[in-house]
Structure 1
Amino acid sequence: MIKRKWMIIDGNSLLNRTFYALPPLTNTKGIHTNAIYGFASILMKIIDEEKPDYMGVAFDERKPTFRHKDFKEYKAGRLKMPEELAEQFPLLKEMLKSFGIEMVSLEGYEADDLIGTLSRYGEEQGLEVNIITGDRDAFQLASDQVIIWYTKKGISHLDKINKEEILKKYEINPKQLIDVKGLMGDKSDNIPGVPGIGEKTALKLIKEYGSIEEIYHNIDKISGKKLKENLEKYKEQAILSKKLGTIVRNIPIEIQLEDFKLKNPYNKKIIQLFREWEFSSLLEKIGVQKTPTLLQQKTLEYQEIINIEQLKSILKLIEKEKILYLQWLLEGKNHRKKFLEGLGIARKNGQLYLLNLENLEITKVLGEMKEIFENEKIKKIGHNLKEFMVFLFLYNIRLEGLKFDTYIAAYLLEPSENKYDLSLLVAKYLNQSILGEEQILGKGKKSKQYKDISYQEKSDFLINQLDGIIKLYTVLKEKIDEQNMTSLYYDIELPLIEVLASMENLGFHVEKEKLKELSKEFGEKIDLLTNEIYQLAGEEFNINSPKQLGQILFEKLKLPVIKRTKTGYSTNIEVLERLKDKHPIIEKIMEIRQLTKLKSTYVDGLMDLIDPETQNIHSSFNQTMTSTGRISSSDPNLQNIPIKMEMGRRIRKVFVPKNSQSYLVDADYSQIELRVLAHISGDEDLIDAFNREQDIHTHTASQVFNVDIQKVTPLMRSRAKAVNFGIVYGISDFGLSRDLNISRAEAKKYIDNYFAKYHRVKEYMEEIVEIAKKQGYVTTLFGRRRYLPELQSRNYNIRSMGERLALNTPIQGTAADIIKIAMVNVYKRLKESQMQSKIILQVHDELIIEAVENELEQVEKIMIEEMENAADLKVALKVDISYGKSWYDTK
């Protein structure tokens, strides 16, 4: 007979485990989600693989338990929970409620006691009980019917521990583990135990005598003078420790098994919650599409263009009307070298035309349309015009006269969304349904290409998309005006499209031979370090194997064990940092890891991305990826070339001008976000420091540490710098303590001192939060909006996150707007002056131009003028400018 299965989860333990196992993760609303994402992943794995009949989650209460009454120091010294974790507890409970999973807690008892009581009840009911926890104390509950699932590695691995496993490993029964803990104590819970007794001795004593009580009945038989003395001296402490470590299995709680029955976990509520938290991968696992399934395509009337003469006559009409709607189907992995699989155009009156590319030659079509495309008086309207612009560069055609891009408009209206597909926008703003690309082509391994679907299917899809653009244009244009983003849209975002398209097309030249030399040099350095490590270890081994490395460090070299894993010892960066002073091999291992990462990702990785025709790297520049308005870079991410290590900085040496007679000019805003903060807050001390051109980090250090500016040490300045930038990003004391490797108390003191000295910054933060609560959003100085629904949440922690977003978004967003204005104006000046020098890269607050030698002086002048005058602030915008024969030389 198959037993019914009950899964009981230690809620606090599992959430803590997933929080520290996964990297920081937030959704586009800024809510921390790494712990609940990990928790949900484990839950779904259990539900799908184990198919439990019953499920429950036990939680600790915040109030003291009976153990605190017995021993006031119980669990004393535990660090306060990080704010980023605390805010996820209510989210977890909301998620469990949506799953339909019963939750239990009881004042005066810990989750362990609830789990112990539930598991005993489950045994009595003849169930197979499974306990999921990261707490070894639960091992004492293992029995013929109770299995412990112990979380050891990340969120993917759970060890199943049953009674037999414990007998095999410890040679005692599970209940005797309580006696072992009573003797050895538990530092994590501050249970004292008996001094001088570790696990090995405790196990030996319990194997021989069976329990703590029996040890004391036979105290005269104990060999070892010191051991006997300690046992006698700390008898009461040993008995108390056993009591503290014993899980209570009969707490007064009424249990109704039916309350724990798992019925329909993958319901509408959990799907809605996962969408809100942007858990796309989890939605896919339960078979939910990222977007709702839409209706079949409407049949629209359109005219098919099957010959060049037809095209010419229609282009004449468009030339008179001065409006051209565009939609295209492009295909291909290389964003610069895509193939045109479909093209639709529309006139001012909404008449739709489909170019039959099966009958028409693409080069002839584009040749005929070149004059229209390059006529800036004929205004173009489309969706993601940059993509088409980059494609046209292949045919030496420039797309001029951009009037409206529905893709960019949708981004400004909803900056926190992660997709702006036409199908979604048509559904949202027009309440109509058209198919999206994913729905017509599919996704994943089974996805098709446009060339694989029928001509009619492709044609209907394209025409419906084009019709959607025409209708969206009217609606989105009005909304942009209504929300006072007209200038932001037409003066900043729309002209930026051309700038980014030009940058993508030009690319950044790379000296492949130098990259090869660097690869060889890094390889030789890695080989040298490898041999040095072998010498220090006294043998050869696989340095990249954590298991083998652990054996060398902790078994052969006898270094102190910091952390264990299922397969042996942890050798992650945190462990190595703590061992740095213990043996010279550690520094070598850290260095070889960094070098290997640099070589594989940034040297050999870049080599594969060099265009064989141009010998340039052509990155994609993304205009709609961040809710603050910052531009991002991908394929490759040139904004992420490492600069902290000298070996990493040297990678920039391979980035050089295409023409050997040219230079790279690098202009970088000096502390732009802090200057924006000074302007927005109106803090006189900050404004004065900037206007007197003081070093702002040194100035802040003198204020925060209350010392004369001449006595500020490099360490003080470094910490003040972290505080300065941390304030801009709404950093918590937990985050600052982690960044600076200091205590949270010290981090909190730094932040408090900062606000005491820069009181208007504190006032600004309070004021902007109140404004955000009233209007539901915040804006940059240029009108960019970010909506903050978090501020209306009933959940305290979510509201707190909304407050942090409210205070830092105007600063980050305004800085992003300023660099965009500078890019547009610099580009325009270069273009109007018909200069050969071009913008080739933007990295956050930094702009790089490839300048021909005879234009160098003029380029520097244009960059300084346009960047420093991009905004009129209470503090001057300052630009640090330099030039050289490589990107490395400019710094």
Structure 2
Amino acid sequence: MKKLYLIDASGYLFRAYYALPGMNNSKGQSTNALYGFIRAMLKILQDFDPKHLCVVFDARNNKASRLELYEQYKIQRSPIPEDLPEQINLAEQFCELLGLPLLKASGVEADDTMASVARWAAKDDCEVLLCSSDKDLCQLVDDQIHMLHTHKNNRLITPEKVEELYGIKPEQIIDWLSMTGDASDNVPGLPGFGPKTATKLLQEFGTLDKILASPESVSGKKKQETLKEKKDLALLSRKLVTLDLSVEFPKDWNFFTLSTNKYGIPLVDFYKEMGFKSLVKEYELETDSLEEDAPAPEIETETVNYHLVDTEEELEKLLSILQKESSICFDTETDSLHPRTARLVGMGFCVKEGEAWYVPVNGQLTLDYVLDKFRPLFESSQHSFYGHNIKYDLHVLKNHGLDLSSIDFDTMLASYLLNSHSHRHSLDHLAMQYFDKEKTPISDLIGKGKKIISMRDVPIQQVADYCCEDVDYTLRLRKELELDIRGRKLSDLLYKVELPLLRILMQMERTGIFLDAVCLETLHKTLASTLENLEQSIHEIAGESFNLNSPKQLADILFDKLGLKVIRKTKTGRSTDASVLEALKGEHPIIEQMLEYRQLEKLRSTYTESLTHDIHPETHRIHCSFSQSTAATGRLSCHDPNLQNIPIRSEMGRRIRECFRPEKKGYSFLAADYSQIELRLLAHMSQDPSLIQAFQDGQDIHAYTASKVFDVPLSEVSKEQRYRAKAVNFGIVYGQQAFGLSREIGCSMSEASDFIERYFSRYGHVREFLEHCKEEARQTGCASTLYGRERLIPDINSRNAPVRAAAERLAINTPLQGTAADLLKVAMIRMDELLRKEEKLSSMILQIHDELIFEVPDFELIDISASVKDRMENVMQLKVPLVVNVSIGKNWKEC
């Protein structure tokens, strides 16, 4: 008997799109759904070696016939993700290159096509396997037509299995769906008739027609009423869920006969173009084998040589091997994820692919013995090291009094530079992306949640295998990433900016910042008292007590009791978020007080309550972490805790900053802040003569812009005009349009539009520059900084106007904000060089957006002030001067 495999292409593509992390090729094309689809197709070919097969795709306007019956059909579905249609087209191209028969019948859905083909083939004495998880297809299952769930270990859905799963026979599935409906397709069904009810009724009556014919026989008055009143819904639903068996297709077995071109040159070129390196490697392995007249090999588990080094003799052998290497891949295993407190459990080393060593320090070899043996290697200038997120490993070594003399690569940073738009730079993700390697997750060793254990308690051999795998794949990744870094001309950014900065950030994290716990506790009590008074006042205004932190209870007060206008609804009800409250300002006194309450409550919960717990018990300082691989623009992010978000404009935010002070007497804080750096970069990059002249002359740029836009002499510019000009100046940098500006300065859309138009008429080169940024992004798919940092802008050509507008704003802002971030990083490197060279006692302790904070002994203040100003202002020669404001204080607030 022939077998025909019918594959639901959309099912596999959508599953892969949402299951696999974001992937992009060198052109910036999204490829995760395509990659998952290809893997699934190749697995079907490998597992079943089919002779007859067809991949069925959905065609455009495929819902037309059902929409004629019911215009709400599938209307609730979100639009298809912007980066998926192109991948679907590429999937079709892949099928053609591989030689897989393909069907895409115009105007009908894929499951209708599959149903028509399946019934035709079954009549011709063929077994049909429907490769899909769509439950609608269960209605086709019989002795010759089965469903095949390839994503569930090739589970076969037979008539018996349908009955086991749903409690009914396959021929009853249509009636079952007619009653239950289908939320995913917006098929209405009968209200209140769930799967259990539908199954029970069909078991009792047999068919929907019999149920509808005698509703009074159904138990439950409400169900009887529904069957009488909503009969038409059930009949409509039956039409919607019944698959069409009359779709036209080639009724010729030659069409469905498989003739793959698995080893064709066009296919491997396609893999290369898509960036599927693991598929290219597999192709090369198989074709090499074919050239030797051997059958294509099955992909087997690679043989690796991982060593557990737990004797003095083996340790000496390892050291002898490492001494001959100039660059060594390195990793640590520890008993904590917190870098400041983590203690060493073992170390991993790798110098060639497929071989690695793990040295435990809690076995036969003691910690002190191992560290003494490795100290000369670590501190030697003849050796450099690399790893994945090696800043963490530097912390761990520092915790034990060691350091690495030189760092020459970091695979996490390299991945970030190549794909700054992605947040997936873990070693596990990259191993899967580049090598199709599913690494052992750490949870397999230490567990999860409440059952988590220390790495010290995991059997040493398991830890050894895990650590060796880490360093092995870090080494492999470096080879791949280095080629991409060179190809994308990102070498200078990696080797001259990000890698030198890595060690500086590590030292800043270790130094930390002193927090006066007594000051913070006093402020916490003050804040709690203020919040209590505010809560009492709000209750009095509302006329009753309610939970201010409950959106539902607040909504009841605002919209039901007080009768305020509902601004927006969400899935959970009427929204009371910040934007809604801002829109209601002035409508009722309760709104202003609620806004103040929420602002203060956030400061209490985020800072005055939690910062105390972040104070290190030994250093009495807060040691936050700085990440180089989070923000797509290149800015540093701060976490555990995030000190970058403490508000500076509110009085309570300033009082929180007041609690941060130098630990020692005779020290001060020094803050160095770039003045209007993004506007200065706008002048330089746009080469606008008016902006350049204003900055060169040292003008107040906002007053200068106001005089230009409002056609008044500079000396006569009013505060209101300057305020509006300032909003336009900064709004332009972020691609703000008339709507956003009107809300910010409180004017009409037409006034805001007029302001923007007058701005561009005075600064014509700025308009040209912004249009150039957008056009370059459209052509290349990315935006770049003056240092060559790239950010992919995948939605720049989106057909969805709001999505495209947001992408255009990124295209405008990225060159400016990204370049500002790069300038500050280079300034940090130069300032660190000076501090080390001149052996200063001053320390760089924080980086807050465009600002650097130093802890400085008072006798170094004059020298450090001049040095930091010089290095920051001269970090790059621009057409306009960079200006740095330096302020000094005995606490952070005074800066």
Q: TM-score, normalised by structure 1?
A: 0.65
Which whole-Å CA distance do the structure 2 matches of 1:471 and 1:833 have between them? 40
Equivalence for 2:240: 257
1:404 and 2:409 correspond:
yes
Equivalence for 1:327: 331
- CA-CA distance at 1:501 after TM superposition: 0.5
Does the 8 Å contact 1:28/1:416 carry over to 2? no
Equivalence for 2:644: 639
Q: How does 1:446-465 map to 2 (within 5 A)?
A: 450-451=455-456, 453-465=458-470
Q: 2:358 aligns with which of 350, 354, 360?
A: 354
User: Larger deviation: 468-477 or 807-816?
Assistant: 468-477
Does the 8 Å contact 1:683/1:761 carry over to 2? yes
Equivalence for 1:839: 844
Which whole-Å CA distance do the structure 1 matches of 2:380 and 2:805 have between them? 51
- CA-CA distance at 1:400 after TM superposition: 2.7
Equivalence for 2:731: 726
Equivalence for 1:820: 825
Amino acid at match of 1:343: M
Change beyond 3 A, Cα 1:92–1:434:
closer
- CA-CA distance at 1:585 after TM superposition: 5.1
Per-residue Cα deviation, 1:300-323 (whole angstroms, up to 9, x for no partner) = 224443245654564466456443
- CA-CA distance at 1:736 after TM superposition: 3.4
Tell me the SS of whatever aligns to 1:359: coil
Change beyond 3 A, Cα 1:785–1:443:
farther
Which whole-Å CA distance do the structure 2 matches of 1:476 and 1:568 have between them? 48
Amino acid at match of 1:696: I
Does the 8 Å contact 1:321/1:348 carry over to 2? no
Structure 1 vs Structure 2 CA RMSD: 4.8
Q: 1:659 aligns with which of 664, 670, 673?
A: 664
Q: 2:772 aligns with which of 763, 767, 774?
A: 767
Which whole-Å CA distance do the structure 1 matches of 2:83 and 2:762 have between them? 38
Amino acid at match of 2:240: L
1:616 and 2:599 correspond:
no
Which whole-Å CA distance do the structure 2 matches of 1:719 and 1:89 have between them? 40
Amino acid at match of 1:809: T
Per-residue Cα deviation, 1:154-207 (whole angstroms, up to 9, x for no partner) = xxxxxxxxxxxxxxxxxxxxxxxxxxxxxxxxxxxxxxxxxxxxxxxxxxxxxx
Equivalence for 2:497: 492
Tell me the SS of whatever aligns to 2:698: coil
Tell me the SS of whatever aligns to 2:345: strand
User: Larger deviation: 873-882 or 530-539?
Assistant: 530-539
Per-residue Cα deviation, 1:218-255 (whole angstroms, up to 9, x for no partner) = xxxxxxxxxxxxxxxxxxxxxxxxxxxxxxx9xxx999
User: Larger deviation: 722-731 or 733-742?
Assistant: 733-742
Change beyond 3 A, Cα 1:88–1:716:
farther
Does the 8 Å contact 1:127/1:145 carry over to 2? no
Change beyond 3 A, Cα 1:260–1:619:
farther
Per-residue Cα deviation, 1:69-92 (whole angstroms, up to 9, x for no partner) = xxxxxxxxxxxxxxxxxx979859
Change beyond 3 A, Cα 1:795–1:439:
farther
Equivalence for 1:266: none
1:627 and 2:632 correspond:
yes
Equivalence for 1:851: 856
Equivalence for 2:304: 300
Equivalence for 2:388: 383
* Runs (5+) with no aligned partner, structure 1: 1-25, 32-53, 61-86, 105-123, 148-248, 262-275, 277-294
1:779 and 2:784 correspond:
yes
1:648 and 2:665 correspond:
no
Per-residue Cα deviation, 1:407-459 (whole angstroms, up to 9, x for no partner) = 21121122222122234334444x36251535745986488554565433322
Amino acid at match of 1:497: L
Equivalence for 1:878: 883
Equivalence for 1:337: 341
Tell me the SS of whatever aligns to 1:639: coil
Tell me the SS of whatever aligns to 1:437: coil
Equivalence for 1:437: 441
Which whole-Å CA distance do the structure 1 matches of 2:348 and 2:553 have between them? 61
Does the 8 Å contact 2:178/2:190 carry over to 1? no
Which whole-Å CA distance do the structure 2 matches of 1:550 and 1:464 have between them? 54
User: Larger deviation: 643-652 or 364-373?
Assistant: 364-373
Change beyond 3 A, Cα 1:321–1:255:
closer
- CA-CA distance at 1:630 after TM superposition: 0.8
Which whole-Å CA distance do the structure 2 matches of 1:779 and 1:583 have between them? 47
Per-residue Cα deviation, 1:338-362 (whole angstroms, up to 9, x for no partner) = 2333311245899633213322223
Does the 8 Å contact 2:446/2:458 carry over to 1? no
- CA-CA distance at 1:336 after TM superposition: 1.8
- CA-CA distance at 1:758 after TM superposition: 1.5
Does the 8 Å contact 1:28/1:627 carry over to 2? no
- CA-CA distance at 1:734 after TM superposition: 3.7
Does the 8 Å contact 2:416/2:422 carry over to 1? yes
User: Larger deviation: 466-475 or 766-775?
Assistant: 766-775
- CA-CA distance at 1:726 after TM superposition: 2.4
Change beyond 3 A, Cα 1:545–1:402:
closer
Change beyond 3 A, Cα 1:741–1:92:
farther
Q: How does 1:274-313 map to 2 (within 5 A)?
A: 298-308=302-312, 310-311=314-315
Per-residue Cα deviation, 1:648-690 (whole angstroms, up to 9, x for no partner) = 2210001111212211100011111111111111111111111
Which whole-Å CA distance do the structure 2 matches of 1:683 and 1:382 have between them? 44
Which whole-Å CA distance do the structure 1 matches of 2:524 and 2:860 have between them? 34
User: Larger deviation: 629-638 or 331-340?
Assistant: 331-340
Equivalence for 2:488: 483
Amino acid at match of 1:257: L
Q: TM-score, normalised by structure 2?
A: 0.65
Does the 8 Å contact 2:360/2:460 carry over to 1? no
Amino acid at match of 2:825: K
Which whole-Å CA distance do the structure 1 matches of 2:784 and 2:818 have between them? 8
Q: How does 1:587-626 map to 2 (within 5 A)?
A: 587-626=592-631
Which whole-Å CA distance do the structure 2 matches of 1:675 and 1:326 have between them? 42
Tell me the SS of whatever aligns to 1:640: coil
Change beyond 3 A, Cα 1:146–1:528:
closer
- CA-CA distance at 1:597 after TM superposition: 2.1
Percent identity reads: 37
- CA-CA distance at 1:825 after TM superposition: 0.9
Equivalence for 1:366: 371
- CA-CA distance at 1:334 after TM superposition: 2.7
Q: How does 1:63-74 map to 2 (within 5 A)?
A: none
Which whole-Å CA distance do the structure 1 matches of 2:608 and 2:24 have between them? 32
Which whole-Å CA distance do the structure 1 matches of 2:191 and 2:392 have between them? 61
1:414 and 2:419 correspond:
yes
Q: How does 1:502-651 map to 2 (within 5 A)?
A: 502-533=507-538, 542-544=547-549, 560=564, 573=578, 576-577=581-582, 581=586, 584=589, 586-651=591-656
Amino acid at match of 1:815: A
Equivalence for 1:807: 812
Per-residue Cα deviation, 1:757-808 (whole angstroms, up to 9, x for no partner) = 2111111222333434444433211111223444566767655554443332
Amino acid at match of 1:356: P
Change beyond 3 A, Cα 1:254–1:591:
closer
Q: What is the count of residue pairs matched by the alignment? A: 662
Which whole-Å CA distance do the structure 2 matches of 1:538 and 1:791 have between them? 51
Tell me the SS of whatever aligns to 2:421: coil
- CA-CA distance at 1:381 after TM superposition: 1.8
- CA-CA distance at 1:693 after TM superposition: 1.4
